[in-house]
Amino acid sequence: MKYIAQFTVILTITFIGEVLNRTIPLPIPAGIYGMIILFILLVSGILKLSHVKESGKFLIYMMPLMFIPATVGLMDSWGIMQEFLTAIIVISLLSTVIVLAVAGRVTQYIIGRKQKGGRE
């Protein structure tokens, strides 16, 4: 019964994200709205982590299964993608390097601020 209640909370937040996506004319995916709402509720203490923890763990455990349809779609589109394979590889490598560099810099900045804040 606990899992049903936790899934209901997650699905309600997801539904609110979908409604916001339909009503706010911004190119932001509904899932992002839902994650922001969930984050705000957790940080503010309105929603306790224990209210969604077990179901969240289950959803993360099941996440790889959700990539199967996308992978099959890519395999089905192989004939179209072959023409652009070099561009796809270059873009993927460049974007990966950029994301790693930015994430590393942000992490270094945050760690530096924490260390500086601890010394003062």
CA distance 88 to 59: 30
Tens of pLDDT, residue by residue over 26-40, are 999 999 999 999 999
Encoding tokens for residue 29?
Answer: 């995916």
CA distance 4 to 16: 18
Number of H-type helices and E-type strands within the chain: 6, 0
Tens of pLDDT, residue by residue over 72-115, are 888 888 888 889 999 999 999 999 999 999 999 999 999 998 88
Encoding tokens for residue 61?
Answer: 């455990």
